[in-house]
Amino acid sequence: VAILSERSQDFLRKPIAEWVKTEEDFVAAFCSQCTGQVLAVLKSEEVPVMLTAMIRNNIEDYFQTGGMSLQQLGSVFIGDRAMASARNWLTSEISEILQSPATMETVDSLVDLLISSLLQKRLGKLANIIPAGVRQGMAQSLQKMAADMLEIEVPGLVQSLNIKKIVTDKVNSLDILKLEGLLLSIMEEQFKYINLFGALLGFLIGCGNLLLLL
């Protein structure tokens, strides 16, 4: 059995060229042809796709198809103790950064800038914000409110003002000469047309009398 095993090992370690016992050129050509075939297969479009899918599936299976948490992943690569140390270090660093004066100053500046930009932003036309149906309803409601208010308030307002008495008192308080001047200033334009019409009428009558005398 030992002799058979030793001969089997020698047979398996023997190069293929010694098995075929042919010329070196033939062996080289055969190897070159095999190499070309393998390269052609590797250069085809299907092989990269298959290799990519195989690697992705193996990685996803190893990471439990995305179900593994970051802590579990870190424990797999660096160990539980190193993961705990990294978590403590990260917590302390984030706390120091958030509590630093520079961070507080930056946050205050950002908040002030945001509020300032929000207050300075123009709202634009109210019609661009309110829908058309709502605008029409609001307009009708405002018209009805204004009409109802005028209908209720105007008669009482007129009665309370007593416009007739105000005008009478104002006219009675005027001086006679001022009242006469006021009336003449109002009637002056009318008197001008009356004078022109009278002059024209007198001219026509005079011309008629002259024709009759001739």
Q: What is the pLDDT of residues 94-109, one digit of tens each?
A: 888 888 888 888 888 8
Q: Are 86 and 78 in contact (CB under 8 A)?
A: yes
How many folded domains does the chain comprise? 3
- Comparing 170 with 64, the larger pLDDT belongs to 170
* 106-136 per-position pLDDT tens digit: 888 888 888 888 777 776 666 666 777 777 8
Residue 93 domain flag: yes
Could you tell me the residue range of the domain that residue 140 belongs to?
A: 125-163
Distance CA 188, CA 172 (A): 22
* One-letter amino acid for residue 44 of the chain: S
Q: Determine the distance from the C-alpha atom of residue 16 to the mean position of all C-alpha atoms in its chain, rounded to a whole number.
A: 73
Task: Please name the helix (run of DSSP H) or strand (run of DSSP E) that holds residue 205, with its range, or none.
Answer: helix 176-213
Q: What is the pLDDT of residue 108?
A: 87
Which has the minimum average pLDDT: 33-37, 61-65, 92-96, 129-133? 61-65
Residue 11 domain flag: no
Q: What is the pLDDT of residue 182?
A: 77
pTM tops 0.95: no
Q: Please compute the mean of the pLDDT values over residues 145-166 and round it to a whole number.
A: 79
Residue 27, pLDDT above cutoff 70: no
Residue 109 domain flag: yes
Residue 35 domain flag: no
Regarding whether 135 and 105 lie in a shared domain, the answer is no
The rounded mean pLDDT for the chain is 76
Which has the minimum average pLDDT: 67-71, 132-136, 145-149? 67-71
Residue 67 domain flag: no
Residue 187, pLDDT above cutoff 60: yes
Residue 98 domain flag: yes
Percent with pLDDT over 90 in the chain:
0
Residue 65, pLDDT above cutoff 60: no
Residue 169 domain flag: no
Q: What is the pLDDT of residue 59?
A: 66
